[in-house]
Amino acid sequence: MPNSKAILIVDDEYIIIESLKIQLARILPQKIIIECASSGQEARAIMDDFFDNGIDILLIISDLNLDDCKGTDLLTYCSEKFPNATKIILSGNSTSELIASYAETNKLHATINKPWFFEDLKENLLRIPSLFSI
């Protein structure tokens, strides 16, 4: 699948992953691969596999607090492999000092609070031109 484009969703809650997957499929072009991971370790393995196979990650949406790592660590790892990837953090606490600290030194597109509204998610995605220029 060379030159394929993907989105990676990372959350340790199954219902969050499935909800995002369904909502993203309603918004995005069908050509975009929507991949999901339930841990930082699984997400890194997916990113490594995509990188090795020429699949470009356009967007990563990660929960801030995963069981095995911080979402900010995953976003940093993603930036190393896919420097043009857009990054969004999911959080139950958007005022987190960790998010603020990460956003100061890294390009963070948005923080989405849990629970979110579909229209807010859609509005955030529509501001990412790379998702719709395929």
Q: Which domains does the chain have, with CATH numbers?
A: 5-131 (3.40.50.2300)
Dihedrals phi, psi of 15, to nearest 5 degrees:
-65, -35
String of b and e for 23-42 (b: at least 16 CB within 10 Å)?
A: ebeeebeeebbbbbbbbbeb
Q: Kindly report, residue by residue over 47-105, the tens digit of the pLDDT.
A: 999 999 999 999 999 999 999 999 999 999 999 999 999 999 998 765 567 677 777 77
3-state secondary structure of 5: strand
Largest CA distance in the chain: 39
The predicted model scores a pTM of 0.91
